[in-house]
Structure 1
Amino acid sequence: MTEPHATRALRLGTRRSKLAMAQSGLVAEAVSQVTGRPVELVEITTYGDVSRAHLAQIGGTGVFVTALRDALVRGEVDFAVHSLKDLPTAQPEELVLAAVPEREDPRDVIVARDALKFTDLPRGARIGTGSPRRMAQLNAYARSHGLDIETVPIRGNVDTRIGYVRDGELDAVVLAAAGLNRIGRIDEVTDFLSVDTVLPAPGQGALAIECAADNAELIAALAELDDPVTRAAVTAERSLLAALEAGCSAPVGALADLVADGQIVKEMRLRGVVGTTDGTRVVQLSTTGPVPDTHDGAGALGRALADEMLAQGAAGLMGERAH
């Protein structure tokens, strides 16, 4: 006798990393409450998990996502949880982004030796990051403020990266606040980087819950976890990224936020940046517009800012990264 559909455990596809498991565990609890069904985690290894090459070398786009999406299409899992910043901007027709829950802190943070702030690091400080976006902005800030730093490309999980500081190999590493929050290690942060210093990756701090486009019942249930403000913001950011024709490993930062007058939300502001990884050339612009009440409205804001950035030479800066 087959198990009744209503009581069968929903299968949630997730990467195996500590952070991915923590994120997926939070979503599993929320989905179980919404659906009244148990949720089991199905661990899936992605290419980005097994490759030791730097993301810029292996292409970045989709390396943490493709295996999860393949499992969804094959019906091996019912839905999957991604870090939204890892998700390619092109959406496969057979899958749907069913929910974008409320965003965590989107900022980047520093974990440094001796509890140092970024601006207090000694001359010649070595700062580890696997992100060309972070390299570009840290180096640009250092140049404009007379700081002497060296950005060092690294890979690995949170333990590995913080270990470089603990072992004295690096003076500091840059990580995402959201990830450290989700695994309960935010107290190890020595400095929160203002978004005026380093704009986060498009979608940073947000999760994406994806399922098959033909599963109307599950789509409706997952939609209850969707946060409209977060979805509008990340839609604007990802539309900027897509219009720049850049992948998620490109040196592009973006952040959309709501501008309020007291309790009244007036408009949405979108900031974008692209630069060479050595920080010598940067294009950083912002735009504001009415708070989008549709997906298309948020997308239009992103495309408009991308057009302005391209007019200022943004495409050439991304191209220089590979030389």
Structure 2
Amino acid sequence: MRTLRLGTRRSQLAVTQSTLVAEMLRAQGHIVELVEIVSDGDRTQAANTPLTSANSTGVFVSALRDALHAKEIDLAVHSLKDLPTYPEDGIDLVAILPREDPRDVIVARDGLTLGELPPGSRVGTGSPRRVAQIKALGLGLELAGIRGNVDTRIGKVRSGEFDAVVLARAGLARIDRLDEVTEVLDPIQVLPAPGQGALAVECRAGDADADVRKILTSLDDAPTRAAVEAERAVLATLEGGCAAPIGTLADVVEGEEGPELWVRAVALSLDGSLSVRLSASGPLEDAAGVGRRLAEEMLAEGAADLTDDPADPGQAVMDTGGSPQTAPEQDKVHNA
């Protein structure tokens, strides 16, 4: 029987996620070997280089894809939110696993929630999306860039360097650290990144690996795939990339004629003072179309003016101003 070589990054979360996929395949009777791959994102993280100073779209993905192309591995597991929205020649996204809770969470000192933190409290996040949405709440918090794994980030709260950090709930759930969460953020306040909470499995395209694709197809979860396809269509149409201040979340809900998608999205200025927020619904079988049309409507409402990259790509993360910057009086917000 063929041994399936599964590529994974070395971080605790990546290995945990890859092991989850490996166990699913082993339960079907397959032999799976984990192969650790070091990505450029891991190297810059180890060197404490700000991720936003480089092209962060797919920074944790390219090494695994290179290993696939080189036939060093047979499949790779990614956090779906890390995957670029454009296809990779010679690579198939063959399975999307059932999704964990996609919401963001707060890990704060003294068990505090975001709203309970005093003005001027230092909150760590490496995401312009989170920075913009938290600034839009007008809490007067100081947003500062942060890198490192979960232990490093939470450790900075325990040491007093930060009052709180913002993390993805899904990652903490997978490594059994949910007991450290002090608040789960409502998507009404902070919409997650496209694809957050979902795992993607890729393999080589072509007839030579048709047997691998057939094996992996059994892992695909149709409702999750529909939801994330809609979210990624929003992102692709807005041309934001992973570092852009764009949040979106698609839910499968019960419509008049059966299950359908309900998609929410927001695009924000980097300081959170301006936003375009809309929602749409549509059939699961047209997931990408629902997301694309929603994004097109957002563009018509001015979203393109909000999603341009700043002159200094690190500014959105490294800006530590505690209070929202002075903004125009007209705040373009559309509540669906």
| Fold match by TM threshold 0.5 | yes
Aligned counterparts, 1:2-151, within 5 A: 6=1, 8-34=2-28, 36-51=29-44, 52-141=48-137, 143=138, 147-151=139-143
3-state SS of 1:59 partner: coil
Q: Deviations over 1:110-151 (max 9, x none)?
A: 00000001111112111100000000111102x2xxx22111
Partner of 2:157: 165
CA contact (8 A) 1:276 1:321 kept: no
* Runs (5+) with no aligned partner, structure 1: 1-5
Q: Within the alignment, does 1:280 sit opposite 2:273 as a pair?
A: yes
Q: 1:261 Cα deviation (Å)?
A: 6.1
Q: 1:190 to 1:96 in 2, by over 3 A?
A: same
3-state SS of 2:228 partner: helix
Q: Within the alignment, does 1:226 sit opposite 2:220 as a pair?
A: yes
Q: Within the alignment, does 1:319 sit opposite 2:313 as a pair?
A: no
Q: 1:26 to 1:94 in 2, by over 3 A?
A: same
Partner of 1:256: 250
Residue-pair matches, total: 307
3-state SS of 2:307 partner: helix
* Counterpart AA for 2:281: T
Partner of 1:3: none
Partner of 2:211: 217
Q: 1:53 Cα deviation (Å)?
A: 2.6
CA contact (8 A) 1:55 1:249 kept: no
Q: 1:250 Cα deviation (Å)?
A: 1.4
3-state SS of 1:130 partner: coil
3-state SS of 1:318 partner: coil
TM-score, normalisation: structure 2: 0.88
3-state SS of 1:301 partner: helix
Q: 1:267 to 1:42 in 2, by over 3 A?
A: same
Aligned counterparts, 1:189-204, within 5 A: 189-204=181-196
3-state SS of 2:156 partner: helix
Partner of 1:310: 299
Name the stretch that deviates more: 275-284 or 312-321: 312-321
Which of 142, 146, 159 in structure 2 is aligned with 1:154? Answer: 146
Q: 1:117 to 1:265 in 2, by over 3 A?
A: farther
Structure-2 separation of matches of 1:285 and 1:55? 29
* Runs (5+) with no aligned partner, structure 2: 313-336
| Alpha-carbon RMSD | 1.4
* Counterpart AA for 2:203: C
CA contact (8 A) 2:97 2:219 kept: yes
Q: 1:304 Cα deviation (Å)?
A: 0.4
Q: 1:299 to 1:261 in 2, by over 3 A?
A: closer
Name the stretch that deviates more: 107-116 or 251-260: 251-260
Name the stretch that deviates more: 51-60 or 17-26: 51-60
Structure-1 separation of matches of 2:244 and 2:233? 14
Q: Deviations over 1:267-314 (max 9, x none)?
A: 21111111123211111111111x222xxx111111101111111221
Indicate the percent of aligned positions where both proteins have the same amino acid. Answer: 57
Q: Deviations over 1:157-193 (max 9, x none)?
A: 1011101100001110000000000001011000000
CA contact (8 A) 1:240 1:303 kept: yes
Q: Deviations over 1:187-219 (max 9, x none)?
A: 100000011110000000000000011211111
